[in-house]
Amino acid sequence: MVVQRFLKMGTARSRIREQFEYGMAQAAIVGKENVYDFSIGNPSVPTPEAVADTVRELLKMDPIALHGYTPAGGCAEAREAIAADLCKRTGDHIRPENIFFTCGAAPAIIAVCRALAVENAEVILLAPYFAEYPVYTSANGLKPVVVPADTRDFQLHADQVEPYITPNTQAVIVNSPNNPSGVVYSVETLKALAEVLTRKSEEIGHPIYILSDEPYRELVYDGLDAAYVPAIYPNTVICYSYSKSLSMPGERIGYVCVPNCAADSADLYAAVAGAARTLGHVCAPSLMQRVVSYDTSLRPDMAAYDRNRLRLYMELTELGFRCVKPRGAFYMLMEAPDGDSLGFSERGKEFNILMVPADGFGCPGFVRLCTCVSYDMILRSLPAFHKLAKSYGL
Amino acid sequence: MVVQRFLKMGTARSRIREQFEYGMAQAAIVGKENVYDFSIGNPSVPTPEAVADTVRELLKMDPIALHGYTPAGGCAEAREAIAADLCKRTGDHIRPENIFFTCGAAPAIIAVCRALAVENAEVILLAPYFAEYPVYTSANGLKPVVVPADTRDFQLHADQVEPYITPNTQAVIVNSPNNPSGVVYSVETLKALAEVLTRKSEEIGHPIYILSDEPYRELVYDGLDAAYVPAIYPNTVICYSYSKSLSMPGERIGYVCVPNCAADSADLYAAVAGAARTLGHVCAPSLMQRVVSYDTSLRPDMAAYDRNRLRLYMELTELGFRCVKPRGAFYMLMEAPDGDSLGFSERGKEFNILMVPADGFGCPGFVRLCTCVSYDMILRSLPAFHKLAKSYGL
């Protein structure tokens, strides 16, 4: 007498976790240093030391204030600090009342989805997409509608999105820098999307929101800058997480930002707050709210991630694999030489290389490699990749 | 184009928060020391100092391990520590795989509700109940069915529950020590409930679970002990929170425990995990998972809460008010002398006494007083209560 689809969700081992656990088992047999695990997106750059210093400093506060309930949206000082930082960085006028702290990006996205889940509501996912989006949306009243990936460049092509818009479309989830492709959507492509969404919103008689999922916002390379989406399309809601930017994914701290420029901004913010209540949100972890508000200028050690991505991309393309060059985040897509991503991932295991088939990310024919690993492991893995390439006749 | 009921939930000021904010405004006029705020259930006993020591100690760990993702159910060591502590305290055989860490009790309760939300599912709420239960259940696929309070003793009377059980009943939420009444259900009443639920489960052909919501488990007085419900009724799922026992409600750390004795235990655990995924649960805050697992033997300074409850109960009953003597938690119900709880609460404000009408807790005719306040405020409030009593001719 339990809900069968939740039972399935709870027992179905994700491919990512399966690979990870296989890797641990294999490590016990062949030695940890001989397993090349590119499956899990756990930040490998340590949490900045300033975070521990801030925690130590905060522990001097009155513990009842430090560990007590905050308002649902977050403690006033923390929201002020985040809003001020966003103003400084974007030039927009973000105010504390636009910020709603959450337990990471996942419940942030779900609260926005629930808030928009009117009858028959649809949400557009742009493949390749984060593998949990279908769960987050379909289990919370929104029908996910998938725009297939353009595997030529993995960019966002507005003309390819347009046919999927219906009168029920409430939102498009945009995730740039992208998991799993590492692609950063250009300002031009976002402008084109904005043009389409503006036109279609008028046509269908209600706003179509962009839900901008930005956990990798600070992780961009080549001097690029992730676009500030509300400046391009006002009807944007931002979901942010500190998991990657401060290397603390376990602490579950992030926020929703509903800027004033978004249509029905105040109502949408209130509906997000109401929806969050129905998810069991009381407040985001109070200590971490303060930590991130003290440390708004901290950034991860991008040099390490950058070196990883460049080296891996260079080596694998030189071996004859087709890879999508990452410009952000810490993932890279690699095409299965024979188009069979599951077989490719299985073949990799023969050489103790763990890669996740990107089918679950809406991108069959590719595997995802996490580049947030140790540089040393990349170097050690090269002979194995060489053998893998050979096995495909590359 | 947002969901109207979520919009309402997000904008409707709760009576508790309304009182709280009125209190702050009033404090600015008459002085903080002349406002007697009994509205908010924020622990007033400081977080044990050992918590800060544990955090400082943990900060010496590898930050990637400390702040990294844990498995969805929690990190292995923390689950082991919690399971071992439960074994020691209850004599039951709780294992790490029975524990699923959550961001506090609220998402724990909701995950269990969602897991049980088959078509037409109903859940029984025993008035007086925590005011958020109707939201948690109705917004997650369960129809709440309320058993009215027995205002003679506020105990649980199994014979009064029985008529509300239907073939769709999936669970009964039991909250003892109780918010808002402070009543602790006796073992006898729980045994009687177990007898009824066992019989009715057989009759309707599927188990009816007890969802035992236990954030106040450690807060009992008079040498009482909160019953370990699975020992009385095997089909029990426990939802626990460290908010009150460690005075850190803002940190959002708690767990679901599905003991092996519960029917379909493994399936139910998996369905809870799957349902949690749909709420955006990735893991509970990782630092706090470790903190609570190191500090399993810590208890709050009960002497302060005990003194508060005894003094307030004594003074108010001596003034002629009818109060329900709390045996646990840190709340007390007081009857409106003329039966009008909203009027009573408004009248209280004239004397700068802030009390929450218990209507939202399914208990009209009463107001709730939080006794987790400073003893000094209780003493200062007594002349005001005297005037309040006089105004009712007591």
CB-closest option in B132, B247, B270 to A64: B247
Minimum Cα–Cα distance from B118: chain A residue: A3
pLDDT exceeds cutoff 80 at B17:
no
Query: Which chain A residues touch B70 with a CB distance below 8 Å?
Result: 250
Span B219-224, average pLDDT: 94
Contacts of A249 in chain B (CB under 8 A): 67-69, 282
- Write out chain A residues lying below 8 Å of B102, CB-based: 280
What per-residue confidence (pLDDT) applies to A392?
98
* A277, pLDDT greater than 90: yes
Count residue pairs from A and B with Cβ separation < 8 A. 262
Residue of chain B with shortest Cα separation from A69: B250
Sign of CA dihedral A28, A29, A32, A35: negative
Q: Is the CB of residue A25 less than 8 Å away from at least one CB of chain B?
A: no
pLDDT value at position B297?
85
Contact, B40 vs B16, CB < 8 A?
Answer: yes
Identify the pLDDT of residue B13.
66
Touching check for B103 and chain A: CB below 8 Å? yes
More confident residue, B73 or B42: B73
B195-234 residues touching A, CB cutoff 8 A: 206-207
Average pLDDT over residues B265-284: 96
Cβ contacts of B141 on chain A, cutoff 8 Å: 3
User: Residues of B with CB below 8 A from A62's CB?
Assistant: 46
Determine whether the interchain pair B69/A250 forms a contact, defined as Cβ–Cβ distance below 8 Å: yes
User: Is A55 near chain B, with CB under 8 Å?
Assistant: yes
Q: What is the DSSP letter of B93?
A: -
Residue with tokens 């999936």: B170
Closest CA to A349 of A67, A52, A21: A21
Q: How far apart are CA A190 and CA A184, in angstroms?
A: 10
How far off is chain B from A391, nearest CA to CA, in Å?
A: 35
pLDDT band at A135 (very low <50, low <70, confident <90, very high): very high
- Would you state the pLDDT for residue B1? 83
Report the alpha-carbon distance of residue A390 to residue B5 in Å, rounded: 59
Report the residue from A102, A107, A116 with minimal CB separation from B2: A116
> For position B299, what pLDDT does the model report?
84
User: What is the rounded end-to-end Cα distance, in angstroms, of chain B?
Assistant: 53
Assess B63–A contact: CB distance below 8 Å, yes or no: yes
Of all residues in chain A, the one with the smallest CA distance to B285 is A251
- Among all residues of chain A, which has the CA nearest to that of B169? A1
Could you report the per-residue pLDDT of B321-364, keeping only the tens digit for each?
999 999 999 999 999 999 999 999 999 999 999 999 999 999 99
The residues with which B37 forms a beta bridge, in sequence order, are B354
Check CB contact under 8 Å for B7 and A271: yes
Contact with chain B for residue A108, Cβ under 8 A: yes
Please give the span between the terminal C-alpha atoms of chain A, in angstroms, as a whole number.
53
Of A302-311, B20-29, B53-62, B217-226, least confident by mean pLDDT is B20-29
Report A:3-22 residues touching B (Cβ under 8 A): 3, 5-11
| 249-278 in chain B: CB under 8 A from chain A | 249-252, 264, 267-278
- B135-172 tens-digit pLDDT: 999 999 999 999 999 999 999 999 999 999 999 999 99
Q: What is the ipTM of this complex?
A: 0.95
Residue of B16, B67, B116 best to disrupt the A interface, most CBs of A under 10 A: B67
- Per-residue confidence (pLDDT) for residue B15, from 0 to 100: 72
Grade residue B193 by pLDDT with cuts at 50, 70 and 90: very high
Which uninterrupted H or E stretch holds B99?
strand B99-102
Q: Tokens 């400073």 appear where?
A: B374
**Which among A7, A42, A110 has the least Cβ separation from residue B270?**
A7
Joined tokens for residue B222? 């008079």
Which residue stretches of chain B are H helix?
4-11, 15-30, 49-58, 63-67, 76-90, 105-116, 133-138, 158-161, 187-204, 229-232, 265-278, 286-294, 302-318, 341-350, 375-391
Tell me the chain A residues in contact with residue B288 when contact means C-beta distances shorter than 8 Å: 285
Task: Inspect the interface and report whether the beta carbons of B250 and A283 lie closer than 8 Å.
Answer: yes
3-state SS, residue A120: coil
Nearest CA in chain B to A285: B251
Locate tokens 């190191």: which residue? B294
Q: What is the pLDDT of residue A19?
A: 80
CA distance A228 to B297: 48
Crossing angle of the two packed helices B4-11 and A105-116, in degrees rounded to 10: 120
Using a 10 angstrom Cβ sphere, with 0-12 exposed, 13-18 middle and 19 or more buried, the burial of residue A47 is buried
The mean pLDDT of A323-337, rounded to a whole number, is 97
Closest in A118, A250, A280 to B3, CB measured: A118
What's the CA gap between B36 and B381, in Å, rounded? 6
Would you state the pLDDT for residue A316? 98
What's the pLDDT score for residue B23? 85
- Predicted local confidence at residue A297, as pLDDT: 85
Is residue B304 less than 8 Å (CB to CB) from chain A?
no
* Residue B7 with chain A: CB contacts under 8 Å: 115, 267, 270-271, 274
Check: CB of residue A212 under 8 Å from CB of residue A238: yes
Higher pLDDT, A145 or B15: A145
Chain B residues with CB under 8 Å of A268 CB are: 2
Confidence label for A15 from pLDDT (cuts 50, 70 and 90): confident
What sign does the dihedral B333-B335-B340-B344 (CA atoms) show? negative
Q: pLDDT-derived band of residue A13, with 50, 70 and 90 as boundaries?
A: low
Per-residue confidence (pLDDT) for residue B90, from 0 to 100 = 93
Residue in A with minimal Cα distance to B41: A69
Contact A68 B8 (CB under 8 A): no
- Whether the pLDDT of residue A12 is over 80: the answer is no
CB contacts of A295 in chain B (<8 Å) are none
Burial of B167 per CB tally in 10 Å (0-12, 13-18, 19+): exposed
Nearest to A69 among B109, B250, B272 (CB): B250
Chain B residues 141-200 within an 8 A CB cutoff of chain A: 141, 170
* Residues in chain B closer than 8 A to A6 (CB atoms): 114-115, 271-272, 274-275, 278
Residues of A in contact with B287 (CB under 8 A): 250-251, 287
